[in-house]
Amino acid sequence: MQQRVIISQDIEHDLAQAIAETEHDRVFVLTDDITQECCLPKVAVLFAKHNATIITIRHDDTNKTLATLADVWTALQRGGATRHSLLVNLGGGMVTDLGGFAAATFKRGINFINIPTTLLAMVDAAVGGKTGINFGGLKNEVGAFANARYVIVNTCFLDTLDTANLCSGYAEMLKHSLISNAQMWAEHVNFDILQPDLAELQRMVAASIAVKEHIVADDPHEHGIRKALNFGHTIGHALEEFSMQQPGGAVVSDRLLPLAKARTAPKNTLLHGYAVAFGLIGELYISARKAGFPTARLHQTARFIRENYGAVAFTCDDYPTLLNLMRHDKKNTSDTINFTLLHDIGDIRINQTATDEEIREALDFIREGY
């Protein structure tokens, strides 16, 4: 089933139409505790008209677990959900990932609609049909491909976000431009994400989603070109998981002090998009070393990330742990760490490898070289 993405100008109208066009005997809404407070009021009247059951889970990625998934299954069961019921996932990437997996597996699959409320979810998690939970200390280790009937994207929710979460989502947009075209990339590295024009951002979000939709349509189950969407994520996921394993989280520079108040992550844990941003630097470095990516564009991208995302704290003593985390990445074959690399912007090389020494050099570059 192909999902339909709606770039919405009127969230109540578009959601009402999507519900009307989706089979449902009962409507359930999955949200987290903070999104319930900040975002649910924007659409609460419509849900009340449908006598929707609200299911609320705890926020942040540490709760994207099997236990939380079971809580959602239980709430659906106790609420009388049938295989003809509808689940609306209202929230960030954690909610759309977990909610999509719950919908894909309850009664062997029920319809669901995603309403992403963070920039990261709008351009990444809510679009493309990937669902899942974290397991065994690894990101998205268990999941399924399942398309939402509709993904409704409206930047009206972004006024509830702090700067850190805007930057987090913007990293995925920057990735989309790197794997797409130089004009989009130039626009992205010259945009003021710290004081964004939300109307302009909505236009850029639509273009970014279009990049992902085009790739996913060509390769829905990630056998080929869809692996391009993993650019920056091999190193990025390792950094993110590393930060989650540290007692105090990942200590970061002054640019990242908003992380302490970011509403989608525990204190000092590296937000997904920040990890991806640093992963982009490392994988662009490997791309320059092994695939001929232009060094001027490498340094310009790295400079933009440093100015807007700061730096992440790890040392060379942490390299064995980071390499081990990379070896657990789902994209790998056996013990070979798999990368997507770029020869140039939009010139993609999937299924590439790098030696441990080359990866260590990339980690050096993230820490010291830009």
Dist CA 294 CA 345 (whole Å) = 9
The pLDDT value recorded for residue 40 is 97
Q: Which residues of the chain have pLDDT under 70?
A: 1, 248-268, 330, 332-334, 369-370
Q: What SS3 state is found at 146?
A: coil
The pLDDT value recorded for residue 231 is 97
Dist CA 206 CA 7 (whole Å) = 7
| Residue tagged 């980071």 (tokens) | 322
Element counts in the chain: helices (H) and strands (E): 14, 10
Residue 312 DSSP class = B
The pLDDT value recorded for residue 257 is 39
The pLDDT value recorded for residue 260 is 34
The pLDDT value recorded for residue 265 is 46
Please tell me the chain's helix, strand, coil percentages from 3-state DSSP, rounded to the nearest 5: 55, 15, 30
* CB count in 10 Å sphere of residue 54: 17
Phi then psi dihedrals of residue 340, to 5 deg: -95, 130
| Residue tagged 């009340």 (tokens) | 48
**CA end-to-end distance (rounded Å), the chain:** 44
Amino acid at 86: L
| Residues 273/169, Cβ–Cβ less than 8 Å | yes
The pLDDT value recorded for residue 192 is 95
The pLDDT value recorded for residue 283 is 98
Closest CA to 243 of 312, 311, 331: 312
pTM of the model: 0.88
Beta pairing, strands 138-145 & 130-135: antiparallel
Each as own residue / partner, the long-range contacts of residues 154-157 (CB below 8 Å, 24 or more positions apart, any chain) are 154/7, 154/8, 154/9, 154/11, 154/14, 154/115, 155/122, 155/198, 155/201, 155/202, 155/205, 156/11, 156/42, 157/39, 157/42, 157/116, 157/117, 157/118
